[in-house]
Structure 1
Amino acid sequence: MTRMPWNPLSLFSISLVSTLLIYWSTSGEFAHNNNPISLSPQTLPAEAADDLQQGEEIILNGKKFRIGWSQWTQGNARRIGISDIGAMNLLGLELLSTRQPDLQPVKWFTKDSSQSLPVLARFIPPYRYLDVTELIQLAGGKLQVRGNTLEINLPPARIGAVREGNQTWGKRIVIEVDRPTIWQVSQAKNQGVVMISGNTNTPPLNNDNSASFPFNLPPGIDPDEDDLGSGVSVPINSKLFSLENGKKITKVHVKLPTAHSLNVFSLSNPHRIVIDVRPDAMIPKEIAWTKDITWRQQLVRLSSGVFPVNWLEINGRSPQISLKPITADPNQQQGTAPLITMAQTWKASAAINGGFFNRNNRLPLGAMRSQSRWLSSPILGRGAIAWDDQGRIKIGRLSLRETLITSRGQRLPILFLNSGYVQAGMARYTPEWGPNYTPLTDNETIIVVQNNGVISQQNGGKAGKNPILLPSNGYLLTIRKNAVSPSALAIGTGVTVESTTIPADFNQYPHMIGAGPLLVSNNRIVVNGVLEKFSKGFQQQKASRSGIGMTNQGNIMLVAVHNRVGGRGASLGEMAKIMQQLGAVDALNLDGGSSTSLALGGQLIDRSPVTAARVHNGIGIFVNR
């Protein structure tokens, strides 16, 4: 039985029950509840929590979501927690800034923008959970744990007036509901969907439908109260959005102008869901997720534009924090998966996508080293980050020099190790590659080495055919384009491998991820795509970017940047300036574009999962308790 103590601060915190009573009783919410819950102000017990149970699946009103949850006994009561980012995405909670990891203020149908609800939070590896027990009950919902699954059933709201208005920054849609309810948001290029737990008798609204919305404001309510801006209207034929009515879910489909996104929040008295369509939809915040991890959303201003940035600052020197390379398939180097799937599988508290890979054959194209084992060698002298288990970090350009020394004294260069990068020459593949090697080019000469001796030679035939078993106590050499004479490696020839990194001090770090180009070194911008042999097109493009850096205090930075306000993504030079402005003294560009993904608490925090591509590898952050 595990005992999970609350922070002593919770002794003095007002419970969510009494807080919700204050906010909702004045707005008539409890008139809708046929079985009202008895509420009274109370302090929270400080005794330990027992009977801990965790799961990874939530069924909300019959629909499955892969979101972490936990259940525990606190005093004589059973408590339910949902991972904080999962609760934000699933229930529509707006998480506000906090310096207290165990107390999370949220907005959810509060009366005005200055109010918030204090929700208790607790970290149970690998996630931070919000205690939503009373919140679900007060919304009229029921909670039931069945094995690994948490079932939540909530009554749907009734949707009333729907209005649209103009703002100087974009558009606003206001949807009135008869009770606090939940919603989820999904966004892709030029389109967004808000899925509200509620139903309406209003016919669907679209460009071919002339049906009007009901528009009956309660007596005494100013129609401009929710700041619709100019042109408060009852849209009959909106070009901005349409409604899709379902039995339990109403979907609001929104057409997004280029570089615009959605900011969705709720208000009370009357209950409303507000959908803002704007280029600067990100709300700045700073959340102490644990004592060693801080999540920030902020707008970074450069002379060339304003960039919404999601990033994590991590105390890598803490004994509770460890970093590991993570891959789509722990047993082989071929494979891709969504970053959130990788993070959930590896049970990482946070993760960012890592190095480059070939999307066609799903093989790595750059350095990966884990526990001093090369999963894949660096290529082209590109940038890499290396670290050890004591919190030491090195960021710089990296090469690996391997030489095969034969019993006859010949020294033969090995160009690549466990790599999907193909050039004429000799490459080496070890069991870290996987159980088999399948030729990547036609007519490779395959040489099998076991116990430091050549035991066989064969022609690999057509690329993509004829997988060859990798020996557990040896490796395989492949010669491409006849770059080395097979006679130099005749059966029975003894061989050894000499291996070193350039610079040599990279050798002392057991973990590495390579990408590039290098962005910042010793607080100087050092972007040089030509030196790292990136194509001209890659060097000039503006795209979503992922980066990793280190502050002068030695903290680790995981950074995701997408479109600038009103325009395209960042150039490499702009990404370097963003990292520098955030505090990086050393920084590395990671794989970007559709690969850019930043996960926290088992969920993406920088983009909708539907827009994130599958990736080959990443860097996982693990919190050890």
Structure 2
Amino acid sequence: MTRCGRGFRTRVATVLVWTALVGTGVAGAGPAHGAADAPHFTVRAVISPGVEYRAFTLAASHGTAYGHLLTVDLRHPGVRLDLLTAGAVGAREPVSRMADERGAVAAVNGDFFNISETQHPGVQATGASVGPAIAGGTPLKAAVPLGQRFGPALPRGTTTEDVVGLGTDRVARIGRLTLRGEVSAERGTLPLRGFNQYAVAEGGVGAYTPGWGTASRVRATCGTDTDRAAPCSAQTYEVTVRRNRVTQVAATPGNGTIAADRVVLVGREAGARALRALRVGDTVRVGYRLEGAAPAPFAFAVGGFPIVRDDRPLDGLDAVNAAVRTAAGIDDGGHRLYLLALDGGADYRPGLTVGELADVMLELGADDAVNLDGGGSSTLAAREAGEGSTTVRNHPSGGSERPVPNGIGVFTRP
């Protein structure tokens, strides 16, 4: 029988192949920290050819954890992955709704995001994610500065530019995507320091496209590159460009829908001073791309911070603070993906430390893994045979699904 959060459907699968896996573990690397046992699998179901669901328990430092796991065989010709979104960078929806709207057979939540703005009275949270995002081969956004991120402390050597995704060669990998862009005008050229981000780098200029949505752009000028809670900048400027011509200027960032043929430039400090030199009617060209070192471009990518690289846990992983967590792991040379979400039910809410999460991903067989958003965001949804919509398999720790900005969707075709 499927497990699901309060208020979600509970059904007995009559067509899926369910198997009790009592007393079994999985082969893989030994625990890195010794604090969590190997997963004990209790339920197995084939969601569709190439996609398998399993449930497991394990004893950890803060108590028993209950987990939900999707194993995706990327060698299967009918399987593909893509980013799920709520229709805009600055928008949120529950994972199951995003999955159903796109026709995904399974999904987990994605990146950490701008969930609150308690430090900036009067400024609304955008709901936009921390790291880069690519959907269907199209770049949606770049990464915020390191000091502007939400989420637990990063391991050494990782950044907000780190992503997990699938290349155009159908190989899953962990990589890094850096924004490269510029604003070219008659008076000179400015480097672009933001692309559909909830925080633009200090002294920089950020570009906002229709993909940003209707969220306010004021948040982009708040905080600093090292302190998310720092006050909003007093030096801001906004320029609207339509078909390479400046059509509108404003002293403060705005909000609302950006028309399909427009790009809005938001500047702070030195960037604001540079934008003030532009006049309505000036010619301005904006170019940008997300650049990575992967052997093939990403067809899909979402931000997440690495916890396992080359079959080893990263140094400095938190081994003290436990929480409900979501993770993605890569095995078989990038041809197998593990998507894991812990259960947030009352009996299992203590969860795992980041170090223990790395141990679990290694036990599953992952050579590389990233930590995704957790806590009330952790959600794993999957269809049952014959159903046209997904069912939430874990108990979200808030009692119901939290709206999130993106997720990893698993799709199949006959």
TM-score normalised over the length of structure 1: 0.50
In structure 2, do the counterparts of structure 1 residues 475 and 589 end up closer, same or farther at CA, with 3 Å as the change threshold? same
Name the counterpart of 1:411.
189
Q: Which structure has the bigger radius of gyration?
A: 1
Q: Residues 293, 438 of structure 1: CA spacing in aligned structure 2 closer, same or farther, 3 A cutoff?
A: same
Report how far residue 592 of structure 1 moved.
0.6
Q: 2:341 corresponds to which residue?
A: 560
Paired residue for 1:574? 356
Gapped runs of 5+ residues in structure 1? 1-82, 107-112, 114-281, 530-537
Cα drift, residue 616 of structure 1: 1.7
**1:512, CA displacement in angstroms?**
1.2
Q: Distance in 2 between matches of 1:303 and 1:104?
A: 30
The match for 2:199 is 421
Counterpart CA distance in 2 for 1:289 and 1:342 is 18
Check the 8 A contact 2:169/2:296 in 1, yes or no. no
Deviates most, 607-616 or 300-309 = 300-309
The secondary structure found in structure 2 opposite 1:358 is coil
**97, 110, 122: which one pairs with 1:341?**
97
> Displacement, 1:437?
5.8
Q: State which of 243, 246, 252 in structure 2 corresponds to 1:451.
A: 243
Which residue matches 1:378? 143
Alpha-carbon distance in structure 1 between the residues aligned to 2:211 and 2:366: 33
Secondary structure of the structure 2 residue equivalent to 1:340: helix
The 1:527/1:354 distance shift into structure 2, 3 A limit, reads: farther
Per-residue deviation, residues 22-70 of structure 1 (Å, max 9, x unmatched): xxxxxxxxxxxxxxxxxxxxxxxxxxxxxxxxxxxxxxxxxxxxxxxxx
Counterpart mapping for 1:72-471 below 5 A: 93=12, 103-104=17-18, 284-300=42-58, 307-328=65-86, 330=87, 332-360=88-116, 361=125, 362-379=127-144, 380=146, 381-382=159-160, 383-388=162-167, 390-408=169-187, 410-424=188-202, 425-434=204-213, 438-440=217-219, 441=221, 444-460=236-252, 466-467=254-255, 470-471=258-259
SS of residue in 1 equivalent to 2:394: coil
Equivalent residue number for residue 489 of structure 1: 278
Matched length = 347
Match of 2:393 among 586, 590, 605: 605
Contact 1:551 1:584 in 2 (8 A): yes
Q: Which residue of 2 aligns with 1:522?
A: 310
Given that residues 400 and 499 in structure 1 are in contact (C-alpha distance below 8 angstroms), is that contact kept between their aligned partners in structure 2?
yes
Distance 1:85 1:569, change over 3 A: closer
Structure 2 residue matching 1:510: 3-state secondary structure: strand
1:13-92 alignment to 2 at 5 Å?
Answer: none
Q: Flag the 1:482–1:510 CA change in 2: closer, same or farther, 3 A.
A: same
> Equivalent residue for 1:547?
327
- 2:372 paired with 1:590: yes
**Rounded Cα–Cα distance in structure 2 between residues aligned with 1:567 and 1:348:** 27
* Preserved CA contact (<8 Å) 2:210 2:260: yes
For 1:541 and 1:502, the matched residues in 2 are separated by 34
Partner SS for 1:309: strand
Which is strand-richer, 1 or 2? Answer: 1
The equivalent of 1:200 in structure 2 is none
Matched position secondary structure for 1:574: helix
Distance 1:290 1:612 in 2: 24
Amino acid corresponding to residue 310 of structure 1 in structure 2: H
Q: 1: distance between equivalents of 2:294 and 2:286?
A: 19
Residue identity (%): 24
Seen in structure 2, the aligned counterparts of structure 1 residues 574 and 512 have a Cα distance that, compared at 3 Å, is same
What is the CA-CA distance between 1:300 and the residue it aligns to? Answer: 4.1
The one-letter code matched in structure 2 to 1:524 is R
1:512 maps to 2:290: no
Distance 1:460 1:349, change over 3 A: same
Change (3 A) 1:526 1:500: farther
Query: How far did residue 311 of structure 1 move?
Result: 0.3
1:615 paired residue number: 404
Report the AA paired with residue 513 of structure 1. V
* Whole-angstrom distance in 1 between the partners of 2:267 and 2:319: 32
Distance of aligned partners of 1:313 and 1:523 in 2 relative to their CA distance in 1, 3 Å threshold: same
Structure-1 separation of matches of 2:286 and 2:217: 22
Higher relative contact order (CA 8 A, sep 6+): 2
SS of structure 1 residue aligned to 2:359: helix
AA aligned opposite 2:164? I
Q: Is the 8 A contact 1:377 1:416 kept in 2?
A: yes
Return closer, same or farther for 1:506/1:420 CA change in 2, 3 Å cut-off: farther
For residue 477 of structure 1, report the CA deviation from its aligned partner: 0.4
Summarize the Cα distance change of 1:540–1:90 in structure 2 as closer, same or farther, 3 Å threshold.
closer
Question: How many Å apart are 1:590 and its aligned residue?
Answer: 0.5
Quick one: structure 1 residues 562 and 397, their matched pair in 2 at CA, closer, same or farther if it must change by over 3 Å? farther
Task: Decide whether aligned partners of structure 1 residues 487 and 102 sit closer, same or farther in structure 2, where only a CA change above 3 A counts.
Answer: closer
Between the aligned partners of 1:429 and 1:514, the Cα distance in structure 2 is: 19
Q: Which runs of 5+ in 2 are unaligned?
A: 23-39, 117-124, 147-158, 222-233, 384-389
Q: Distance in 2 between matches of 1:283 and 1:556?
A: 18
Please state whether the residue corresponding to 2:90 is helix, strand or coil.
Answer: coil
Q: CA deviation at 1:506?
A: 7.6
2:29 maps to what in 1? none
